[in-house]
Amino acid sequence: MVIEFKLPELGENIDSGDIVKWLVKPGDVIRKDQPLMELETGKAVVEVPSSVSGKVLELRAQEGDKVNVGDTVLTVEGQAETAAPPKPKETISVGAPLKAEAAKPELAPSRPSSAGGEDQAQADVIPAAPVVKRIARELNIPLSDMKGTGLGGRITIEDVQAHASRRGARGMATAEPLPDFSRWGEVEAKPMNAVRRITAHHLTQAWNTVPQVTQYDKADIENLENLRRKYAPRVEEAGGKLTMTAILVKVMASALERFPHFNVSVNLAENTIIYKKYIHVGVAVDTSYGLLVPVVRDANRKNFHEISIELARLSERARQRKLDPSELEGACISISNTGGIGGTGFSPIVNWPEVAILGVSRAATEPVWSGNQFVPKLMLPLSLSYDHRAVDGADAARFLRFVCESMEEPFLLALEG
């Protein structure tokens, strides 16, 4: 029988991707768990495994096409493992979640009748990706209030945005139409790549959702920079790189331990603040195809040496587009360091649902008053953007001052951190 293979769920915050490369072609005989394609999700390039075995009949999308979770991407002549013996020519649809090695393909569930008070059952089978359900939940929009425009009635992010716009919901503003630029000269429209699409959506949501304030300060890193240069060769021998960013990962982890009300997320739908008992630090990495933020997990439990090695590995994997989506999730706070490029300061956007992000600019030698004279000091500009719903200005100033003092007196970090 003919089996329709639908793009499976790709992760909590992923509902679509761009096909980078097909790994099979019509006529190939495939087996369960065999990689079918390389898919760029906007955060990483992942291999999508098959949940069925059989002969490939048709590829329903081309390399470069954008496909959504639930879209049929290929058809296979084979036997579904969980299906009863089918009638000739019967067509069914299957899909399997990534990384679920034991998962078997399932028949697409039918929507239950509204008769008999089965509202909850209906909600459970409303076709929508996890990211769509999460956004709708945050905006307090019942999925049952919407009619999906996606394949098979699937509810898309655009459907949620349109509904929120009609309702006047803040946080999911629709784009204003642009003027016709061709009236003034030649133009060319190029589609956003997957990374840029995800970034644009996420930052728009963050900017419209989070009331953000930025606190600025400077740290005297003269002593720290001397220590970094002294011990950098030892870390390099182990395959790491002792950068100022790696040091800041440890500093930020210690700051979250000292100020646990920064290690939270705001849930306005339920008027609660979620306190996290773990400390994971995200680090923005500039790549040729966009900004990615891999996560150093349990940074408070790791020393500078371990963090340096892990961060070097994550950064290299990010630049090679080899990060797993799970390596980009779960951060409690983020760091964005533009010091290697230049600039004297900037205001980073909070990486929602986190409540704070640290911006790092280029260090410069400046005259600093010592009490009786000016002395040259290597000063590092820092900027802390924070969610004013969860953090007050005085606390943000204390938090950033702690970060500065930890860098100015590295021994204190080892002593108290």
Q: Which residues are catalytic?
A: 388
Residue showing tokens 């419209």: 208
Residue showing tokens 């949620």: 160
CA distances from 284 to 202, 204, 281, 371, 412 (A): 14, 17, 10, 38, 27
What angle is formed at CA 271 by the lines to CA 267 and CA 276, rounded to 5 degrees? 45
Cα gap 20→321, rounded to integer Å: 11
Backbone angles phi, psi at 206, to 5 degrees: -65, -45
* 3-state DSSP assignment of residue 36: strand
**Residue from 367, 362, 358 nearest 402 by CA:** 358
**Residue from 378, 326, 353 nearest 98 by CA:** 326
Answer yes or no: are the C-beta atoms of 331 and 338 closer than 8 Å.
no
Structure tokens at 30: 């495939």
Structure tokens at 87: 């009638």
CA distances from 31 to 107, 235, 273 (A): 18, 44, 46
Question: Residues 280, 244, 313, 336: is their CA dihedral positive or negative?
Answer: positive
